[in-house]
Amino acid sequence: MKTDDLILEIQSLPVEERARVADSVLRSLNQTASKVDQKWASLATKRLQDIRTGSVKPVADDFVFDEIWHRFG
């Protein structure tokens, strides 16, 4: 299969499947995830779990950036 044919085939897939293909291709470009990447992923998973269980409350980004601007701007 030629690359252009493959691209057309992928573009015809539902968005979820295209996202899966894109993720797989991007991961193949950087096959060795660093320990730092793994730690960030672990931390992000933990924080998402904290939000979902209600042990922490999310803060809107507008509020955060307003606070930063107020303190350091």
pLDDT tens per residue, range 7-19:
999 999 999 999 9
Question: So what's the pLDDT on residue 5?
Answer: 95
Question: So what's the pLDDT on residue 31?
Answer: 67
Q: Rounded to 5 degrees, what are φ and ψ at 56?
A: -135, 155
Question: So what's the pLDDT on residue 11?
Answer: 96
Residue in 16, 65, 38 with CA at minimum distance from that of residue 46: 38
Question: So what's the pLDDT on residue 32?
Answer: 66
0.75 cut: is pTM over it? Answer: no
**32-61 residues labelled b (16+ CB within 10 A) or e (exposed):** eeeeeeeeeeeeeeeeeeeeeeeeeeeeee
Q: Which residues of the chain have pLDDT under 50?
A: none
Question: So what's the pLDDT on residue 27?
Answer: 82
Q: CB of 50 within 8 A of CB of 59?
A: no
Question: So what's the pLDDT on residue 73?
Answer: 83
